[in-house]
Amino acid sequence: AFARLSAVYGGTYMLNKPECKVEFDESGKAFGVTSEGETAKCKKVVCDPSYLPDKVKKVGRVARAICIMKHPIPDTKDSHSVQIILPKKQLKRKSDMYVFCCSYAHNVAPKGKFVAFVSTEAETDKPEIELKPGIDLLGPVEETFFDMYDRFEPVNAAEEDNCFLTTSYDATTHFETTVKDVLALYSKITGKELDLSVDLNAASAGENDAA
């Protein structure tokens, strides 16, 4: 969706490019990105922490399990889309645990299959033990994949190097923190707040004119 919209407004996009390297001038400002000997020039670079590891700091780790099932999560009224948050006090942990489930109804799995994600801020190196309270809510699970990854935040001054970095995905599964990060990044890049409000009366009038 972003690539198509970018093209409509005259943007150039290159997908699945290997070994992307951000290029800096003598003053330390980014001016482009190089891949396969080709450099795309730019005024600003927007990227995640993996592209500029020297401009971020580690702030935590996330433990995550991806579970494949043949059924919805029990006691959720057979819902195909579910969000569950287990409070840290209930779990006697330092952070909450998040459970999210979606299904074939969302075109993310074969017919009859459900996919559940269980995640939390890691406190040990054993995700299978840490995530057990969330996994226990799922009922029978066909297969489980465990993962742990570091979480980073930018420490650079964007006005000095033209680099605008996102934070890493945290343990939440409802994307609230991710949306806030994107909105904050938009304001930092453009110097103004993003207005997502819609004038329904104007939109309705426009539809009537088109009809």
Cα three-residue angle 86-90-96, rounded to 5 degrees: 40
Cα separation values, 165 from 2, 46, 86, 100, 103, Å: 18, 6, 30, 27, 32
Question: Average pLDDT over the chain, rounded to whole?
Answer: 94
Residue 119 forms part of a structural domain: yes
Q: How far apart are CA 82 and CA 103, in angstroms?
A: 10
CATH number at residue 80: 3.30.519.10
**Tally of domains in the chain:** 1
What pLDDT score was predicted for residue 92?
A: 96
Does residue 153 register a pLDDT over 60? yes
Residue 133 forms part of a structural domain: yes
Does residue 127 register a pLDDT over 70? yes
- Alpha helical stretches, state H, the chain: 2-8, 88-91, 127-130, 132-135, 158-161, 176-190, 200-210
Residue 90 forms part of a structural domain: yes
pLDDT band at residue 15, thresholds of 50, 70 and 90?
confident
Domain hosting 117: range is 59-151
83-122 tens-digit pLDDT? 999 999 999 999 999 999 999 999 999 999 999 999 999 9
Residue 28 forms part of a structural domain: no
Residue 22 forms part of a structural domain: no
Task: Give me the long-range contacts of 150-155 (CB less than 8 A, separation at least 24).
Answer: 150/58, 150/60, 150/61, 151/58, 151/59, 151/60, 151/61, 151/62, 152/49, 152/53, 152/56, 152/57, 152/58, 152/59, 153/49, 153/56, 153/57, 153/59, 154/49, 154/55, 154/56, 155/55, 155/56, 155/57
Residue 50 forms part of a structural domain: no
Residue 42 forms part of a structural domain: no
pLDDT band at residue 138, thresholds of 50, 70 and 90?
very high
Residue 71 forms part of a structural domain: yes
pTM above 0.95, yes or no: no
174-208 tens-digit pLDDT? 999 999 999 999 999 999 999 888 777 765 655 55
